[in-house]
Structure 1
Amino acid sequence: MTMLLTILGIGLFAVGLLFSIAWHELGHLSTAKLFGIRVPQYMVGFGPTLFSRRRGETEYGIKAIPMGGYIRMIGMFPPGADGRIEARSTSPWRGMIEDARTAAYEELQPGDEKRLFYTRKPWKRVIVMFAGPFMNLILAVAIFLGVAMTFGFATQTTKVAGVQSCVIEQSEKRDKCAAGDPVSPAKQAGLQEGDKIVAFNGEPVSGWPELSDRIRETIGPASITVERDGTEQVLQATLIKNMVAKKDSDGEVVPDAFIPAGYLGFAAQTEILPLNFPQSVDRMGDMMENGVESIIALPAKVPDLWDAAFSDGERKDDSPVGVVGAARISGEVMNLDVPTENIIATFMMLLAGFNLSLFLFNMLPLLPLDGGHIAGALWESVRRNVAKVFRRPDPGPFDVAKLMPVAYVVAGVFICFTLLVLVADIVNPVKIS
């Protein structure tokens, strides 16, 4: 049964992956056709073609390796300086440029002269290249908001999960009382497991973040209103100063950082609660911010990845994960001993995170990524507008093909990084709890 569920999870992730890629390429395809650019091919995957069918002027198909996809647009690069589409050179770098330029004009047909990609205004080219990643962003946001507002996330509440028997500095990282430890203020006040704190010092509390902050700000006497067995009771406590975990500006605990603050001495209960729309949007913003920080931090994580793949290094929880690793996690999700709705929500969040990563990664201003073509179109717009202001001759379209040697280097780096992640995902995978 475990193997069957694992295969099911991997299969569902593969379907989600293919849909995400097809959805991405649909953004490019629809906007390219909107602006009159001829698109001979729309393909999901790479390698040998498994299935294809022509509709109108475009061939639609699925290829054997589900690691990406593409649409082929006529005239991605402008002709060379001599106006020729194809030239020959003994220079390997020049050969790369000419090969890219030649490929951009494959399947050129009579009448295509006015349907070339590079002839479109820069803002139209930006839209065509941005539409693909934007489709992934739309999908990520839709999935995230759907999960957040219907299922919810694990959230600390004002219910009491447990009461500390004594006062222990959190920096000591021990959970057993020692001789001489004073009784905790919560225990002295009579706080009990299952109590729901509804007010602090006579003022209602809206949730755990507010209650936590007010406790930390208080040292000395305080009244705590709790709901117990359907009735409200007011308890009196004397909060003391203690070393507690430090929080950042977002209210998240900072690892191994402690500050002196007011201390009551109880654990908040965690429940899975749906979020309202503003809360969901705020949480989505945090997810995007974390995604950007993760991409920026990728180079710094290469040494740890190498150690995890080829030595006894630990595979950290925030380690980069590739398609194989994500598929493996999907298989583990299907085997979790939790309610079915938890499994569905976890799987959908995995798919949302994958689509968000596709958006952020493709927006990097590097060829051959979409962001590289966007950067080229924006630079062309700047050059032409500057020339117009200073009444200089139009410099013409920016020849992105000249950056192809750089694109090959970038692609090589990406391939090496992908292979490293692949090895790590196989020999030392990230596991979920």
Structure 2
Amino acid sequence: MTETLLYALGIVLFALGLLVSIAWHELGHLSTAKLFGIRVPQYMVGFGPTIWSRKRGDTEYGIKAIPAGGYIRMIGMFPPGQDGRIEARSTSPWRSMIEDAREASYEELEPGDETRLFYTRKPWKRVIVMFAGPFMNLVLAAALFFGSMMTLGMQKATTEVAGVQKCVLKLSDKRQECRPGDPVSPAFKAGLKDGDKIVALDGRPVSDWDTLSDRIRTTLGPATLTVERDGQRVDLHPNLVTNMVEKKDADGNVVRPVQYVPAGYLGFQPKAEVRALTFGETTEEMTTLLENGVHSVIALPGKIPGLWDATFGDGKRAEDSPVGVLGAARITGELMTVDAPPERILVMFMNLLVYFNVSLFLFNMLPLLPLDGGHIAGALWESVRRHAARIFKRPDPGPFDVAKLMPAAYVVAGVFVCFTLLVLAADIVNPVKLT
């Protein structure tokens, strides 16, 4: 019963974190829009039926039933058509899409709003308004990450030995036990013991696991391993061999999905300890997290076939498979039932929110409508056109009509909807599990 309650608590906490992240994102748009005098009729968290709302000033603030997004409504997102009207219609379905979007941005136009339209603001102001939303997610992610890493800390491998492997096991085999005929591991043969602290390899001092791991990988044959044991320094003489180990990238992180490459092998398990990171270390970890996020977004289209096979075929759900809101909620529920210290569970929960907010930032920065990045790209293009016109002494081309891109925006939105439904199906049929 307790485990069920903890699981439910995890889902509720994730839902609250999701709402806060979305509300924070929309607050960025709202605050900068009001700063530049743009009228915002609505600020809503969620989609679907409104379950609560209050009007303050000229803005209605509310919460909707489905906590899967949010929005603010700014009047005059698109400029009027060439005829100066927003009611223009055509028999062309593409033109209808354009004019429908244009009309929607003027639905709540009131007397005096002519000077409070979004499109009338200078391009740099529009860029700020649209960038402010994703930027708020990045700020929240950084605040959560720096807060947790510099106080509660991160689990880091050390140069102390937690266990010695008796034989050489290929990591790609995923075996845990030795079999008759397996060669003896260099570490076991050299006499390395649990509790030894490795301080040097071939006379070169090492103080952290990353450095030691890299040197082991590039060392083959006879070597001198210096360890601290019972307050004394002892030299051991292992003969390192080649083994298939996990591939690392240029930053020393294991490549996902896991790949195996030949490298030097010693054969021991490093002891892990939890410690608070310095500001510099946290900055490096945050930078790596953002870089991995960018790579994940770029690699996303290539993961769709595997996701489809895991959902409708007999494929295995990959560790780095895309996860939706439902999947993340399930993972959070599992997290709350893990047998671990509360502070570790808290760190993992905060990291889930960090990843979610980083994803919101990166996705919204894609230069595609209807994402924020699409409006940013439109404002920047308008700025380029107007500057070029001044330089070449040509007439001002006027505001760039982003509404003309709405047919493409509907295609992008359709792709996102299909992808979201695929991820949702995968999270139900073949979910990613924390354990």
| Deviations 1:284-343 (CA, angstroms, capped at 9, x unpaired) | 112111111211222222222222222322211111111111111111111111111111
Structure 2 counterpart SS, 1:25: helix
- The corresponding residue for 2:120 is 119
Structure 2 CA distance for aligned equivalents of residues 176 and 89 of structure 1: 72
**1:175/1:74 Cα in 2 relative to 1: closer, same or farther (>3 Å)?**
closer
TM-score of the pair, normalised by structure 1: 0.93
Structure 2 CA distance for aligned equivalents of residues 184 and 322 of structure 1: 42
Aligned pairs, number = 431
- The corresponding residue for 2:342 is 340
Matching of residues 229-378 of structure 1 within 5 Å = 229=230, 231-245=231-245, 246-253=247-254, 255-261=258-264, 263-378=265-380
TM-score of the pair, normalised by structure 2: 0.93
**1:180/1:367 Cα in 2 relative to 1: closer, same or farther (>3 Å)?**
closer
Q: Which amino acid aligns with 2:93?
A: P
Q: Is the 8 A contact 2:80 2:102 kept in 1?
A: yes
Matching of residues 52-67 of structure 1 within 5 Å = 52-67=53-68
Q: Is the 8 A contact 1:321 1:430 kept in 2?
A: yes
Deviates further, 272-281 or 52-61: 272-281
Q: Is the 8 A contact 2:33 2:39 kept in 1?
A: yes
CA drift of 1:362 comes to 0.7
**1:360/1:256 Cα in 2 relative to 1: closer, same or farther (>3 Å)?**
closer
Q: Which amino acid aligns with 1:117?
A: F
- The corresponding residue for 1:142 is 143
Q: Is the 8 A contact 1:24 1:132 kept in 2?
A: yes
Structure 2 CA distance for aligned equivalents of residues 398 and 347 of structure 1: 43
- The corresponding residue for 2:48 is 47
Q: Is the 8 A contact 1:308 1:315 kept in 2?
A: yes
Deviates further, 126-135 or 321-330: 321-330
Q: Which amino acid aligns with 2:67?
A: P
**1:179/1:356 Cα in 2 relative to 1: closer, same or farther (>3 Å)?**
closer
Deviates further, 167-176 or 53-62: 167-176
Q: Is the 8 A contact 1:21 1:68 kept in 2?
A: yes
Structure 1 CA distance for aligned equivalents of residues 307 and 216 of structure 2: 41
CA drift of 1:170 comes to 5.7
Structure 2 counterpart SS, 1:297: helix
Structure 1 counterpart SS, 2:71: strand
Match of 1:432 among 424, 431, 434: 434
Deviates further, 324-333 or 234-243: 234-243
CA drift of 1:251 comes to 2.1
Q: Is the 8 A contact 1:221 1:236 kept in 2?
A: no
Structure 1 CA distance for aligned equivalents of residues 43 and 368 of structure 2: 22
Matching of residues 172-251 of structure 1 within 5 Å = 183-219=184-220, 222-229=223-230, 231-245=231-245, 246-251=247-252
Deviates further, 70-79 or 200-209: 200-209
**1:170/1:318 Cα in 2 relative to 1: closer, same or farther (>3 Å)?**
closer
- The corresponding residue for 1:83 is 84
Deviates further, 178-187 or 117-126: 178-187
CA drift of 1:145 comes to 1.6
- The corresponding residue for 2:26 is 25
Q: Is the 8 A contact 2:223 2:240 kept in 1?
A: no
Q: Is the 8 A contact 2:221 2:240 kept in 1?
A: yes
Structure 2 CA distance for aligned equivalents of residues 217 and 30 of structure 1: 53
Q: Is the 8 A contact 2:21 2:137 kept in 1?
A: yes
Q: How high is the sequence identity, in percent, across the aligned residues? A: 70
Deviates further, 191-200 or 235-244: 235-244
Structure 1 CA distance for aligned equivalents of residues 61 and 171 of structure 2: 60
CA drift of 1:223 comes to 4.1
Q: Is the 8 A contact 1:75 1:117 kept in 2?
A: yes
Structure 1 CA distance for aligned equivalents of residues 354 and 248 of structure 2: 27
Deviates further, 385-394 or 89-98: 89-98
Structure 2 CA distance for aligned equivalents of residues 415 and 194 of structure 1: 53
Structure 2 counterpart SS, 1:412: helix
Structure 2 stretches lacking a partner, 5+ long: none
Structure 2 counterpart SS, 1:68: strand
Deviates further, 94-103 or 30-39: 94-103
Structure 1 counterpart SS, 2:103: helix
Structure 1 counterpart SS, 2:237: strand
Q: Is the 8 A contact 1:190 1:235 kept in 2?
A: no
Structure 1 stretches lacking a partner, 5+ long: none
Q: Is the 8 A contact 1:218 1:239 kept in 2?
A: no
| Deviations 1:116-159 (CA, angstroms, capped at 9, x unpaired) | 10000000000000000000011111111222222233322101
Structure 2 CA distance for aligned equivalents of residues 35 and 18 of structure 1: 26
Q: Is the 8 A contact 1:171 1:243 kept in 2?
A: no
Deviates further, 402-411 or 249-258: 249-258
